[in-house]
A and B are shown apart, each in its own frame.
Chain A
């Protein structure tokens, strides 16, 4: 029954008019992803008026076609230039851009795109599999569970911090700084202002986009200026290709890619965790699953696994995020909120009906995600080796454009000069952290999870008193958290015994 409906939905998506709407969407999404100044959510909102006259399946082919390739092509900008193409593709920079600097841009791009495709398929598959069990799947996660998930994510800071005591100290330091920065703005309980310095701009807290753009792009621009070469250094142009190697890498580390896809999907399914989280947790998982010791030291310096993890997760997240949107009419992100508006415009009410009466639309969405990514990745493969050559352009020629993209990319977050100030401030912080060997990933992890932890802890306590601590999922997550920290500590002990500190 479901299989037959699934196949029928495929035929529906393959109708030429639907397919052409999807292609238009994919082409638009391609550019939206590449350009740092263009966010997926904003563009969806701009495109919304066009769907008034479309059929539901057409409308979602168009919107979802666009939305589901944004994270895919956002990775390209992150890898090539070290500027996050999207807020959700910043984690790819750490190893992806490091690879580009080693002259392995083609390989990094191949890995990012192949893992994106895997992620998209896993995400779409999850959407499909979730259909029968969607209610328990989403509803087991109440506020206490969300709080524990945030804590678990924060615990990953331990494994992102390096091996020796000093490196760990700096990792935790960076993580705590990120947690504190999350406190800027109105507090979620009483609505009082914290650290707003009398500025209206800071009422809403620090915006993730200018923070990430400055934090990652500015140090790379400075480094590029210092080296005085092209991004890929002196690597001969002929060696920049390597897309095929990157694709092979994806299959060499297939289980990692799949695991990170599942992490992304799961984070997407749970509304309330926010879009920035999945990539960083996946990155942390990629680091953590490497063998402690030398195997782990390559991360941040151009380890392909650091590309595969976030590459897969930021795509699979989107399929997952559709689950609560479709099944409950509750969006998990701003982009999903806009998509929800599209449902109403084409005359559908999201909710249980989407899994019965309008099942064909839901299944068509699954197909759209898969097909849009196949088209985007397939189309990109043709250009990738050419794109990789961009890293051979003289740095001096590139820098003004990178600066321009960085500024515009930050400014368009809120169309406010405050965005640029935040971007520059975090650019400075990022540069100093890199210079003095403080890891940046823990700071971002703390920053994106701190607000969630605070919010849901208050709700849990206010709603359940102390009883929430006894909930089975909470206990399970607590044990998992202890496990994550313990494994980091055990490995530190092993290192301490095995090697004398320098």
Chain B
């Protein structure tokens, strides 16, 4: 079965882009011409195209998805399972982002790798620990010791450790 993307989603997405274009155009009021000309010249067609796409999506006509010169999402998995898995992986990435902000990169990296492997992938403790340790080691050696990338301390440490 093909997942054509529910019409509602398509409409919201296209509508969102139209709103973005409208906002971008509205922002240009009061800007000097040298600043405003370019965003106006590209913003107006963007708004027109986005509105057209929104209207067409509302009318519910979807073409052959292979039309776009781009990859297509796989369709072998039943939509319900796919939705669940999508939500899960997005949550994990969001969690990693929060982890980095709170704890800082060097601590969040092994924690995330371990947690994902143990909880989401259901790997054994040993595998999960081993891979987390190697991720941490590779990360530390390369980015911290060799390249001196400045990784900010997480917010957590800034708040609670004076």
Binding site for B on A (CB under 8 A): 35, 37-38, 42, 46, 94, 97-98, 101, 160-164, 166-167, 169-173, 176-177, 179-180, 183, 187, 189-190, 192, 194-195, 218-223, 225-228, 287, 296-297, 299-301, 394, 396-397, 399-401, 403-404, 407-408, 411-412, 415, 417, 420, 424, 427, 432-441, 446, 450, 454, 458, 501-502
Contact = CB atoms under 8 A, between A and B. Distances in A.
Contacts of B5: 435-437
A46 B105 CA distance: 22
A437 B49 contact: no
Interface string B63-74: 111111111111
Interface in B120-152: 120-123, 131, 135, 139, 142-143, 147, 149-150, 152
Given A177-B46, A194-B35, A399-B116, A223 B100 contact: no
28 contacts: A94-B69, A97-B71, A101-B74, A162-B68, A171-B69, A172-B45, A176-B46, A183-B24, A194-B27, A218-B93, A222-B90, A223-B71, A226-B81, A227-B76, A297-B67, A300-B70, A301-B71, A397-B117, A397-B131, A400-B113, A400-B116, A400-B131, A404-B109, A404-B135, A417-B152, A434-B71, A435-B5, A436-B13
Given A176-B49, A187-B34, A424-B97, A403 B17 contact: no
Nearest to A501: B63
Contact of A226 (B31, B32, B73): B73
Nearest to B121: A396
A223 B70 contact: no
Given A173-B53, A404-B113, A417-B101, A223 B74 contact: yes
A438 B65 CA distance: 9
B27 to A, nearest CB: 7
A189 B109 CA distance: 42
A205 to B, nearest CB: 12
A227 B61 CA distance: 27
B67 A167 contact: yes
Q: Which 5 A-B pairs rank lowest in CB-CB distance, beginning with the nearest? A: A396-B121, A225-B89, A176-B46, A167-B67, A189-B34
A189 B35 CA distance: 7
Contacts of B158: none
B162 interface: no
A436 to B, nearest CB: 5
**Main SS of the interface on chain B?**
helix
Contacts of A189: 34-35
A351 to B, nearest CB: 33
B68 to A, nearest CB: 4
Given A221-B93, A225-B85, A396-B121, 15 more contacts: A164-B63, A164-B64, A190-B34, A194-B27, A221-B89, A226-B86, A300-B68, A300-B69, A300-B72, A396-B123, A397-B117, A400-B116, A415-B150, A432-B13, A436-B5
B70 A441 contact: yes
A396 B39 contact: no
A411 B101 CA distance: 12
Given A162-B69, A227-B74, A436-B5, A403 B49 contact: no
B24 A161 contact: no
Most buried by B among A297, A394, A404, A434: A404
Nearest to A421: B97
Contacts of A287: 69
B64 A502 contact: yes
Contacts of A399: 89, 92, 116, 120-121
Contacts of A411: 105, 149
Most buried by A among B73, B81, B96, B139: B73
Interface in B15-62: 17, 21, 24, 27, 31-32, 34-35, 38-39, 42-43, 45-46, 49-50, 52-53, 56, 61
B70 A94 contact: yes
Contacts of A98: 71
Contacts of B88: 225
Contacts of B21: 177, 180
